[in-house]
Structure 1
């Protein structure tokens, strides 16, 4: 009997266990990187929103001071405030429930301006309807006023401080001990600030 030998080369396909583990490891690294990028993007968005709100609040109180400049023309009259958060503010009696002003003085207007500014500052009006936090986080605001040399107006410095979720250098780290930027808000590596100096004319 004649025997015939066949030489069969079998080719095996598929993944080995090590290849599967390496692929899973690479996928896990990619997912971790994606999660980190998303977390950074969320933090950056919050930072931008907080700074945008701070800028809007400074514009708001500056415009209010300009509109009340007739009262500001009086000696000793100003919007100076050491801490908006600690200030005990309320709606003046000359303002009715419908928000109608009746024989309000310039000081009444100032008190109402600061009261309404604080409501916006803390997001109180929005929070009342949504039960959420919509103001600046752990924030404070301070206003300092000084005479403007060679004019009848005033130089006004407005500082808003708030808490950032991103730890970094204190925004007022290089400020002097008595500077408004240093005294406004709680000093720590999470403090962020927006400081603006503007001129308020007392002329009508």
Structure 2
């Protein structure tokens, strides 16, 4: 799958060129804080990524059926608790990530991790931080893949929102309604909109330790 190959190459680039200067996650005094702090986590994903996350969750042998359902339930709770919605200012919506598991950490780390999460790490010095342009470049490629697969029927949305839209137990009615709305937009206007958004979306902040 091209999306998975793109993400793996991105992860490898981060690991080889930047993560050696970052604080190891295993040394974090609060495990998973960068995933669960609802004050700053604002990761947005696309439809193609949401499907990849869903399929990863459904196929992993690490989770029981009950644990899989719990992930989608956490996503729904995040949408309700934090008032997440399909909106033009979605990049400003923050939440606690439903993909973090206290036992396993990120449930999609190896196969479907979102680009901002791949980019993020805790660095002591700002000069060691990877340039945000790397993330934007990957996200523009992700946009192209989505257009190839879905045409105009997708958007950048908060991760929990997309998980509720592709939830296996959902009747799909909301996604079908959104498909009609997105499909009504012209491809030219939509491409320009996505390019501007990809350059203005906030990414996970870097924790600066003194």
Work out whether the TM-score is over 0.5.
no
Of Structure 1 and Structure 2, the greater strand share is in: 1
The structure whose Rg is larger is: 1
Higher relative contact order (CA 8 A, sep 6+): 2
Q: Which has the higher helix share?
A: 2
